[in-house]
Amino acid sequence: MRRTAFAAALLGSAALFASLPVQAQTFRWANDGDVNSLDPYARNETFLLAFNASFYEPLVRRNAKMEVEPALAVSWEQTSPTVWRFKLRPGVKFQDGTPFSADDVIFSIERSRLPGSNLQSIWGSVKAIRKIDDLTVEFETTVPNPILLQEITGFGIMSKAWAEKNNAQKPADLTSKEENFATRNAMGTGPFRLVSREPDRKTVVERNAGWWDTPAGNVQRAELNIIANDATRVAALLSGEVDFVYTVPPQDVARIGSTPSVRIIQGPELRTIYLGMDQLRPELIKSDVKGKNPFQDERVRRAFYQAIDVNGIQRTVMRGQSKPTGLMWGPGVNGFVAADDTRLPLDLDAAKRLLAEAGYPNGFGVTLDCPNDRYVSDEAICTAVTSMLARIGVKVNLVAQTRARFFAEVNGPRYNTSFYLLGWTPSTGDAHNAIAQLIASRDGKARGVFNNGGVADARIDTLSDAIAVETDPAKRQAMMSEVGRIVRDKAYYIPLHQQQIVWAARSNIEVVQTADNFIQLRFVNVK
């Protein structure tokens, strides 16, 4: 039960360091978009979760090799197939001096299940949480869950007393632009504490002197600068204004790599970029087709799929920094089998014929919702898709916007989209995470939370439930492979590629890059 979800996923950068320089160091870094909230339950999104991990810690965490290790829990055991007992770390204090206890764990889980949270799915298998004593909690699952530890590695614990004192007992709903005290303030047990917050401009943190653990890095102060323009962000790195860039434009990789005193840090990412379609509504909300939904017809979905040239996107948009895929999960994820990774063929004639058979010989119009500051070259990918679909008569209205507006539009509870681009990293390192969250039908609780297009397939639902409890690796793999085949054959989604993680740093910066694309300040060294 203690096996890791994806061991040895450490990629292309420094390992931990045995000793720390005496000199205090400042780490200045930049990204194209900001975290939309400091509330750790506001959105299930990599950059937000990684940044907020500086303040809020989980019961178990991943180390620099992506292995699960103790954090706020020092040990755990299964007292029965459906009961997990966690012993909490004694002597831990929140940054305001209040002690950490089982009450905070229970409060945090219950808070994450309230409206406004985007993390309800993490606890989907847990039906009861019990306090045994101040330093012991017990989780009871509805069925045996072999990957519970992997599912909770990104769930940070909040202070019950702090949330109650500041009227932040529930998460603010980002989809309706709500805010509360936890949106712009943070107070956890983690390695850093918040100094100042200027949304969309700069956030400053400093080391938490009272942290229970020993830092692996030497950063005393970190400044996150939001620089939306690609050229300006790269110029800031090359001039020494910033030390590190999280989102590196593909067109600048070669130039950065050949510049003295800076370097590219690159490796494969677990994230899959894909296109989704609304298959639930009887009429699309963003289309010129009235009275029906073209995407409910498998022929239309296949036509869109077979018009998309993923190799062209890899070559001209991603500059080779992607791996075209036919699956919704990629290499490095448990459940990936290379033989399953096949696509429907690129075939414009077949796509036109399918559209005509479905009753759209001249195509139709539809809006494509796309972020412009979330994934590598996201708007450029959507622009390429728009041109590719035009070749089969589909008239795409591209709406690209910042991640804050985009996620509020396409994610639940509104799902206000007809056609969209998204990316997904299985947080557990297991394909079931993508199956249960993206592909299995929405049940209004924890399943299908990010199934934004409303895919509903009874066989996939059955397989998803069975995979969740199956402990035989061969049987489990066979079921995951079957899901992959169904998704491809019915064109429920159009997977595009797994993007490369590309960071850039000045030569005096040592970071740990892992396949989940988490930048962890506790591992950063400034020489």
Give the angle subtended at the CA of 222 by the CAs of 257 and 374, to the nearest 5°: 60
The DSSP 8-state label assigned to residue 314 in this structure reads I
Confidence of residue 8 (pLDDT cuts 50, 70, 90): very low
For the whole model, what pTM was predicted? 0.81
> Could you report the per-residue pLDDT of 476-491, keeping only the tens digit for each?
999 999 999 999 999 9
Provide the pLDDT for residue 4: 34
> Is residue 413 reached through a cis peptide bond, with omega within 30 degrees of 0 on the bond before it?
yes
> Could you report the per-residue pLDDT of 69-90, keeping only the tens digit for each?
999 999 999 999 999 999 999 9
> Could you report the per-residue pLDDT of 332-377, keeping only the tens digit for each?
999 999 999 999 999 999 999 999 999 999 999 999 999 999 999 9
Taking the C-alpha atoms of residue 430 and residue 145, their distance in angstroms, rounded to an integer, is 13
Mean of all residue pLDDT scores within the chain: 93
The answer to whether the 10-243+508-526 and 270-499 domains have the same CATH topology is no
Taking the C-alpha atoms of residue 230 and residue 232, their distance in angstroms, rounded to an integer, is 6
Provide the pLDDT for residue 24: 59
Taking the C-alpha atoms of residue 217 and residue 191, their distance in angstroms, rounded to an integer, is 10
Q: Tokens 């195509």 label which residue?
A: 363
Q: Which of 23, 20, 53 is nearest to 38 (CA)?
A: 53
Q: In this model, does residue 22 exceed pLDDT 60?
A: no
What is the number of other CB atoms lying within 10 angstroms of the CB of residue 144? Answer: 16
> Could you report the per-residue pLDDT of 205-242, keeping only the tens digit for each?
999 999 999 989 999 999 999 999 999 999 999 999 99
Q: In this model, does residue 3 exceed pLDDT 60?
A: no
Domain 270-499 annotated CATH 3.10.105.10: yes
10-243+508-526: which CATH architecture?
3-Layer(aba) Sandwich (3.40)
Give me the sign of the Cα torsion angle 16, 18, 20, 21.
negative
Q: In this model, does residue 29 exceed pLDDT 50?
A: yes
Contact, 38 vs 197, CB < 8 A?
Answer: yes
What mean pLDDT do residues 35-46 have?
93
Provide the pLDDT for residue 121: 85
The pairs formed by 176-183 with CB atoms below 8 angstroms and a separation of 24 or more are: 176/408, 177/408, 178/116, 180/39, 182/37, 182/38, 182/39, 182/158, 183/37, 183/38, 183/39, 183/42
Confidence of residue 1 (pLDDT cuts 50, 70, 90): very low
Contact, 512 vs 521, CB < 8 A?
Answer: no
How is residue 232 written in tokens?
A: 């300006």
Taking the C-alpha atoms of residue 473 and residue 475, their distance in angstroms, rounded to an integer, is 6
Confidence of residue 21 (pLDDT cuts 50, 70, 90): very low
213-236 burial string, b = 16+ CB within 10 Å, else e?
eebbbbbbebbbbbbbebeebbeb
Domain ranges of the chain: 10-243+508-526, 270-499
Using alpha carbons, list the distances in angstroms from residue 381 to 51, 306, 367: 26, 16, 15
Taking the C-alpha atoms of residue 215 and residue 21, their distance in angstroms, rounded to an integer, is 12
> Could you report the per-residue pLDDT of 449-469, keeping only the tens digit for each?
999 999 999 999 999 999 999
